[in-house]
Amino acid sequence: MARIEAFFDGLELVEPGVVSVPLWRPEESGADAPAPAPIGQHGGLARKP
């Protein structure tokens, strides 16, 4: 995970940060959210400070 986070050096990560791609669904969070599929892709979103 640290190797991926290095791409965001100098930027502000947006929640939930660098996570498995299926977990990046803010509109489907909480107890009713579907279980994420186990895949080997991670992603994140950041903005310039």
List pLDDT tens digits, range 1-49: 889 999 999 999 998 899 888 777 656 666 776 676 778 888 999 999 9
In a domain, 28, yes or no: no
Is the backbone peptide bond immediately before 26 cis, with ω within 30 degrees of 0?
no
11 is in which domain, residue-wise?
A: 1-22+42-49
Distance CA 38, CA 49 (A): 32
| pLDDT score for 13 | 94
| pLDDT score for 7 | 94
In a domain, 12, yes or no: yes
Does residue 46 contact residue 5 with C-beta atoms inside 8 Å? no
pTM of the complete model beyond 0.75: no
Q: What are the b/e assignments for 13-33, b being 16+ CB within 10 Å?
A: eeeeebbbeeebeeeeeeeee
Structural domain total, the chain: 1
In a domain, 10, yes or no: yes
Does residue 41 contact residue 4 with C-beta atoms inside 8 Å? no
In a domain, 30, yes or no: no
| pLDDT score for 46 | 96
